[in-house]
Amino acid sequence: ESADEQLRRERIFASAQERYYERPMQIERGWRHHLVDTTGRSYIDMVNNVAGLGHGHPGVADAVNRQIRILNTNSRFLYRELAEYSERLLAKLPAGSGLDTVLLVNSGSEAVDLALRLAQAATGRKTVVALREAYHGWTMASDAVTTSAYDNPYALENRPDWIYVADVPNRFRGTYRGEGTGPAYAADLGNDLAMLAAEGREVAGFICESVLGNAGGVLLPDGYLSDVYARVRAAGGLCIADEVQVGFGRMGSSFWGFEQSGVVPDIVTIAKPMGNGFPIGGVVTSKRVADALASQGQFFSSAGGNPLSCRVGIAVLDAMEQEGLQENARVVGARLAAGFRALAEKHSIVGPVHGEGLYLGVELVRDRATMEPASAEAAAICERLRELGVIVLTTSERSNVLKVKPPLCLTAQSADFVVAQLDRVLSTGW
């Protein structure tokens, strides 16, 4: 059946359509942090950061079921669900941050597009600065700031001239490998801004993830983001935090990724876990920035902010609070990270363990001194883990980091099982 399904895909879909594994899995059901394939085999899902609450959440299912029978329409009417959800969402932003206005769309890519548009509209400028190795989406504008050579080789040659790509402060790889400090890296970005201004390309916005997701969950160096934000603002630009992956409780010790760096962005993009699999995306900003959109016409999205997605969004926030999922991410994430770090003492292929909460990356290297990536090994290890009932996949430019972003309901018992299975694979070979 699986082979048939694969042929069917190849006939119907573009060859560029991404899928996990050479031999893709055929999934039938999901429950909490488990996925079940068509043969009835169950796996621990360590990669699904969309289903933040876990798969098949009854609160979300009930919200969909109830609301779709009552009303679903577009946001050009007045209905209470839109304001109710938007107020709930705003209550999650730091008090006094000035982030008091919501625009709802349907995906992370749309949210990033809208954020870029807002920065340009509010500043009357064009230039956007993004960091190397980033993933921000696949629509034309979000793709333009997707600087990862792995995800977007096309853009390396065809980057629109309103994008400037700055060096990424990744202490583990590339230009900034080593012991430099956050403020020193930020000073380099400050020089870039001065150079752009001298060329008449004044900055409209700076976009980055508050934790380097595509690099494998690498934390930004201390003092980097606050210093960069200050420099971007001094140059008249706006700071955009892409929280599509890091936000919404995943970090454990904070609801948003940017809180880890003690900063407040001007524009925040949100998506993936907002709807626990139901498509919702959004941008939160200040009224001043949001109102600047009027200079570009009206804002409207047929399905963005519809009553159904708003009800789902409310159900997600209810469940997060009632089930203590952010706290669970903190506790279980720390246990998992400690487990992975203990493996590094036994197995030389395990390099640095990145991240925080349930947003971790286990970097596999052939040599810790040179950090030569163990890319082929990482792929083979993922295959072996699959056979042992654990779904973990790779990320980073060199596909040598195991990405660990499970639903936030992951239990300590399952976390221990995953570490034990990885230990088994590393001990017995792959």
Q: Residue type at 5?
A: E
Is 257 among the residues that bind ligand PMP (CB under 6 A)? no
244 binds ligand PMP (CB under 6 A): yes
Task: Name which of 108 and 252 has its Cβ closer to ligand PMP.
Answer: 108
Binding mask 294-333 for ligand PMP (x = CB under 6 A): ----------------------------------------
8 A C-beta contact, residue 30 and residue 55: yes
Least Å from the CB of residue 47 to ligand PMP: 11
Q: Closer CB to ligand PMP, residue 148 or residue 326?
A: 148
Query: Closest Cα partner for 373 from 216, 258, 228?
Result: 216
Q: By rule CB under 6 A, what count of residues binds ligand PMP?
A: 13
Residues 173, 361: Cα–Cα separation, whole Å: 14
Our CB check for ligand PMP shows the closer of 251 and 426 to be 251
Give min distance, CB of 82 to ligand PMP, in A: 20
Please give the Cα distance from 22 to 11 (Å, whole number): 17
Shortest distance, position 4 Cβ to ligand PMP, whole Å: 28
Cβ(31)–Cβ(53) under 8 Å? Answer: no
Q: According to CB under 6 A, which one of 55, 117, 136, 330 is a site residue for ligand PMP?
A: 136
Report the C-alpha gap between 252 and 211 in whole angstroms.
13
CA angle at 117 for the pair 130 and 222, rounded to the nearest 5°:
35
**Does the footprint of ligand PMP cover residue 135 (CB under 6 A)?**
yes
Smallest distance, ligand PMP to C-beta of residue 74, A: 20
Provide, rounded to whole angstroms, the least separation between the CB of residue 422 and ligand PMP: 24
Least separation in angstroms between CB 310 and ligand PMP:
18
265 contacts ligand PMP (rule: CB under 6 A): no
Q: Which is nearer to ligand PMP, 107 or 375 (CB)?
A: 107
Question: Is the separation of the CB atoms in 182 and 224 below 8 Å?
Answer: yes
Nearest CA-CA partner of 201 in 127, 267, 150: 127
Q: Which two tokens stand for residue 5?
A: 């399904």
- What DSSP designation does 241 have? E
Q: Which stretch binds ligand PMP (CB under 6 A): 135-143, 156-164, 181-189, 288-296?
A: 135-143
The CB-nearest residue to ligand PMP is 108
Do residues 72 and 65 make contact, with C-beta atoms less than 8 angstroms apart? Answer: no
SS3 content of the chain, % helix, strand, coil (to 5): 40, 20, 40
Q: Which residues pair with 27 in a beta bridge?
A: 37
Task: Transcribe 107-165 into DSSP letters.
Answer: SHHHHHHHHHHHHHHHHT--EEEEETT----SSHHHHHT---TTT-HHHHHH--TTEEE
CB 369 within 8 A of CB 361: no
- Near ligand PMP by CB under 6 A: residue from 109, 123, 254, 375: 109
Comparing CB distances to ligand PMP, the nearer of 215 and 385 is 215
With CB under 6 A as the contact rule, the residue among 127, 152, 245, 399 that binds ligand PMP is 245
Q: Which of 112, 218, 408, 422 binds ligand PMP (CB under 6 A)?
A: 112
Is residue 213 part of the contact set for ligand PMP (CB under 6 A)?
A: yes
Closer residue to ligand PMP (CB): 186 or 241: 241
| b/e 91-103 (16+ beta carbons within 10 angstroms → b) | ebbeeebebebbb
Q: How many of the other CB atoms lie within 10 Å of CB of 70?
A: 11
Choose which of 30, 52, 54, 108 interacts with ligand PMP (CB under 6 A): 108
The answer to the question of residue 284 lying near ligand PMP (CB under 6 A) is no
Q: How far is the CB of 243 from ligand PMP (least distance, A)?
A: 8
In this complex, which beta carbon is closest to ligand PMP, that of residue 48 or of residue 414?
48
300 Cα distance to chain centroid: 25
Cβ closest to ligand PMP, residue 108 vs residue 305 = 108
Residue 229 within binding range of ligand PMP, rule CB under 6 A: no
What's the rounded Cα separation, in Å, for the pair 320 and 393? 25
Residue from 52, 54, 137, 373 in contact with ligand PMP (CB under 6 A): 137
Q: Measured between alpha carbons, how far is 349 from 346 in angstroms, rounded to an integer?
A: 9
243 versus 266: smaller Cβ distance to ligand PMP: 243
Q: How far is the CB of 276 from ligand PMP (least distance, A)?
A: 13
Cβ(307)–Cβ(71) below 8 Å: yes
Interface with ligand PMP (CB under 6 A), residue from 133, 143, 227, 242: 242
Question: Residue 151, Cβ neighbours under 10 Å: how many?
Answer: 20
Q: In whole angstroms, how close is the CB of 112 to ligand PMP at the nearest point?
A: 5
Please report, as ranges, the residues that interact with ligand PMP according to CB under 6 A: 107-109, 112, 135-137, 209, 213, 242, 244-245, 271
